[in-house]
Structure 1
Amino acid sequence: MNNKKNCTIFPVYRSNEIQKGTLYYISFKLLCLSLYIIGFYYVLLNNSLENGSLEISKNCNIYKRNLVQVEKSKGQKSKKHLKHRKDVNKTKDNENNIKGNAQQVDENKNSIKNNGENSNVEKKSNVSTCNINYNDMSKNLTETELYEVLNSFEECPPNDDLRNIWNHSLAVAKEGFDNILKELKGKIQNYLDNDIQLKNGKLLYKDTWDRIVLKFCRTVAIEEAEYTRKFYSLINDKHTINDVVKLIYSFIENFNTLKEELHENCEKELLENVNKIANRKKY
């Protein structure tokens, strides 16, 4: 009886043990499988994270390099731009300095010129009370202006000034000589228009006229040279302004007399010669 019970109990117990063992085995396998899967995914995830981190790190490095290059480029451009601006500013400063220097030079020139003019005016005012610039030889003084200058001197001017005054005096004294010649030529113009040609090729009336002009001009030149010699002898020696004024007055007066004499004498001689030629032609 007891043996039957034992036989009955043990198989049941064994069966339970087997079932439990099987369950434990299956559970263990599931646990291992789960651990394997978890480990696999962990490794996979870890690799992915490492790769992602590496990629991110690479991208960060690339981004940093690009950023550095951009900053360098900006820095170079900024330096170039700054240098360009400095060059432009320097050029502008140089131009402004040049303009300023040129303006300063012009101002200095004007200042020097004004000082020179003021000095000349002061110098003239000390010598002459006249405002006529007798040292300007671009135009001749009239007879009235010349007399005004001569009468305005309080003291004798320098010899250079006196030479200019003498040149004005020559121009005043010789005024009218050309008009005399034109008038004389007009009196025989009809004969000159109907001139007679000689065998030697000369024109008879023209040759007569040329001799009168030569005599006229030679007389004027001799008188001018004589008075010029007297003038320079005077100013190169001791002289006063009164001595100079007297000589110039005498020169102009004598030349006015000479004009009248030459006009009269040359006209008389010219007409006599022309009439002689005309009378010979009749016969």
Structure 2
Amino acid sequence: MNKKNYSIFFSYVNETQKGILHYISFKFLCLCLYMIGFYYVFLNNSSENSSSEIVKNCNIYKRNLVQVEKNNKGSKVKESLKLKKEDSDKSIDNVNDIKYNEQKIQENIYTINNDIENTNVKNERNIFISSINNNDMSKNLTEKELYEVLNSLEECPSNEDLRKIWTNTLTVAKGGFDDIQKELKELIQEYLDNDIYPIFRCIKGKFGYGSIWEENIFRFYRTVANEEVQYSNDFYRLINDEHTLEDILKFIYSFLEHFKTLKKELQEEHQKQLLQKIEQKVNK
């Protein structure tokens, strides 16, 4: 009986222990599963967060990279523009240097030419002064040469030299009167060629066309001679009194201009008178 009860009790104890073991094993298993699940969820969240962080970092990196590229491009563009501007400035400077050098060359050429021209004028003046000092009046100056000599004077010459200069001035001023005489004569040459005056000095109290011409040209040159004498007297009075180089030049220039005007006036006046007298002669 006791053995039987003991066996039953022992069996119950064994069953109880097995139940406890099973419960503990089940509890451990559940705990393990919970830990595994928790760890899985943790890893999954970590992975997602890590991926999100990686994506975020990648985006930031891309933005930074794009910004760097933009900055690099901007820097390169600025550098390129700067280089182009520097090249342009250098080109402009080079062009300006070339223009400046060309201008300097032209100025030097102009200066050299002026020096040569001034030297030639001074040489001509010296030759002329030397010539008049030696009383060599065989070579008369042209109008251009006379003006060059007058313009080159730096101080007033002596009265003797001024008289010789005046002689050349008169020669230049009277140049062209012979041409006027020829032109006037050509106007009535037809009448002069058929004139009877050379054979008979008078026919029925009438003189020929030659006398009309001679009278006209006499009055022409008388006017010129009177002007020459008047201006010469004024010039000699000027140089015998106190005078400056400016006074001398002013007088000579005004005289030359006056004689240019006189030539035109005399030609017009005597041409008109000559033709009128010829017409009157023909109509008689």
Matched, 1:266 2:270: yes
Q: 1:238 to 1:178 in 2, by over 3 A?
A: same
Q: 1:180 to 1:239 in 2, by over 3 A?
A: same
Aligned-residue offset at 1:131: 3.5
Whole-Å separation in 2 of the counterparts to 1:274 and 1:138: 40
Amino acid at match of 2:244: T
Whole-Å separation in 1 of the counterparts to 2:162 and 2:241: 13
Q: Which residue of 2 aligns with 1:115?
A: none
Aligned-residue offset at 1:203: 4.4
What aligned pairs does 1:22-171 form with structure 2 within 5 A after superposition?
130-134=125-129, 135=132, 136-171=136-171
Q: Which residue of 2 aligns with 1:228?
A: 232
Whole-Å separation in 2 of the counterparts to 1:261 and 1:273: 18
Matched, 1:188 2:192: no
Aligned-residue offset at 1:202: 7.5
Matched, 1:253 2:248: no
Q: Which residue of 2 aligns with 1:75?
A: none
Whether the 8 Å CA contact 1:132–1:149 is kept in 2: the answer is no
Whole-Å separation in 1 of the counterparts to 2:147 and 2:283: 49
Q: Which residue of 1 aligns with 2:215?
A: 211
Matched, 1:279 2:246: no
Aligned-residue offset at 1:138: 1.2
Q: 1:232 to 1:279 in 2, by over 3 A?
A: same
Amino acid at match of 2:161: D
Aligned-residue offset at 1:199: 3.5
Calculate the TM-score normalised by the size of structure 1. 0.52
Calculate the TM-score normalised by the size of structure 2. 0.52
Unaligned 5+ runs, structure 1: 1-124
Whole-Å separation in 1 of the counterparts to 2:154 and 2:277: 53
Aligned-residue offset at 1:201: 8.6
Cα offsets for 1:229-251 (capped at 9, x unmatched): 01000000000111111111011
Unaligned 5+ runs, structure 2: 1-118
Which gives a bigger RCO, structure 1 or 2 (Cα 8 Å, sep 6+)?
2
Cα offsets for 1:36-83 (capped at 9, x unmatched): xxxxxxxxxxxxxxxxxxxxxxxxxxxxxxxxxxxxxxxxxxxxxxxx
Aligned-residue offset at 1:137: 1.1
Whole-Å separation in 2 of the counterparts to 1:178 and 1:224: 16
Whole-Å separation in 1 of the counterparts to 2:253 and 2:233: 16
Whether the 8 Å CA contact 1:156–1:240 is kept in 2: the answer is yes
Whether the 8 Å CA contact 1:173–1:256 is kept in 2: the answer is yes
Whole-Å separation in 2 of the counterparts to 1:143 and 1:239: 24
Q: 1:213 to 1:200 in 2, by over 3 A?
A: farther
Amino acid at match of 2:156: C
Amino acid at match of 1:241: L
Whether the 8 Å CA contact 1:150–1:245 is kept in 2: the answer is yes
Amino acid at match of 2:221: C
Whole-Å separation in 1 of the counterparts to 2:273 and 2:245: 41
Cα offsets for 1:3-41 (capped at 9, x unmatched): xxxxxxxxxxxxxxxxxxxxxxxxxxxxxxxxxxxxxxx
Aligned-residue offset at 1:196: 3.7
Whole-Å separation in 2 of the counterparts to 1:239 and 1:214: 36
Whether the 8 Å CA contact 1:195–1:203 is kept in 2: the answer is no
